[in-house]
Amino acid sequence: MSEQQMTILAIGGHVGDAELTAGGVLASHSLKGDRIATLALTAGERGVPAGQDMKEYHAQKVREAHTFAEMLGGEAYVFDDIPDGELEDSTEMRFRVADVIRKVKPNVIITHWKNSMHKDHMTTHRIVNDARFFAALASFERELPAHFAQRLYYAENWEDAVDYRPYVYVDFDQEAFDLWVKAASTHWFITGSKSFPYLEYYKHLMRVRGIEARKQYAQTFMIPEENMRVLKTEL
């Protein structure tokens, strides 16, 4: 267990985004005794399996979010009133996310990279960046007191690939990998989608990034450009 418990909040545009792109790292921190939370700004119900009612799949997606988080000893939040594909780039959404940040009090926030083929991912990126700012300032008076999340990371996602360059590698071991596989496999689309082999892709990506890091498994992240600096007194 970590000497001091860390709290990580992973925020995706849809249920399953954070679970895939940061899931190995979340599982690793869970096993170390850190606190894990996920937030999905929509349920992601438009990927409904053929022949299934979309309302039923919506409810299933929400259950899957909670199952994944609970398997990591954490908690899940889903804005299940926001339709998939219709996430609004609004001040109201920024304050809703800021309220979750103030409730969870994360040290670390993980979310989408700025570029994506999916509009909800790009919108989530912008919302989270501003929500972190709103959450940190006491002068934005809300129900809960201000909280500043010190670190912000952008996860690697096959849909968010344009201009993404791995900057931070976070490695983890077989136990964390196995926990992630077990938890992620509770999401239908990760194992059952005919449009993209999600589980296979991310399992291999974790191994490739691990090899690059000279480790067993890893996931990579970008950071805000203003933080891309190395400070040294000497060479």
Query: CA–CA separation, 135 vs 125, rounded Å?
Result: 15
pLDDT of residue 3: 66
Would you say 30 and 74 are in contact if contact means Cβ atoms under 8 Å apart?
yes
Find how far residue 25's CA is from the centre of its chain: 10
**Structural domains of the chain, ranges and CATH numbers in brackets:** 7-227 (3.40.50.10320)
Residue 172 pLDDT exceeds 80:
yes
Query: CA–CA separation, 124 vs 119, rounded Å?
Result: 8
Residue 1 pLDDT exceeds 50:
no
Query: CA–CA separation, 38 vs 158, rounded Å?
Result: 19
- Residue at 48: amino acid letter: V
DSSP 53-95: -HHHHHHHHHHHHHHHHHHTT-EEEE-TTSPTT-----HHHHH
Q: Is the pTM of this model over 0.85?
A: yes
Query: CA–CA separation, 4 vs 7, rounded Å?
Result: 10
106: which residues sit within 8 A by CB, 6+ positions away? 7, 8, 9, 37, 147, 149
pLDDT of residue 68: 98
Q: Write b or e for each residue in 89-102: b if 16 or more Cβ atoms lie within 10 A of its Cβ, otherwise e.
A: eeeebbbbbbbbbb
Q: What is the pLDDT of residues 68-117, one digit of tens each?
A: 999 999 999 999 999 999 999 999 999 999 999 999 999 999 999 999 99
81 C-beta neighbours (distance < 10 Å), count = 7
pLDDT of residue 4: 82
Q: Residue for token digits 């809300």?
A: 142
pLDDT of residue 230: 87
Q: What is the pLDDT of residues 12-33, one digit of tens each?
A: 999 999 999 999 999 999 999 9
32 C-beta neighbours (distance < 10 Å), count = 13
Gap between the terminal Cα atoms of the chain: 35
What percent of the chain clears pLDDT 90, i.e. is strictly above it? 96
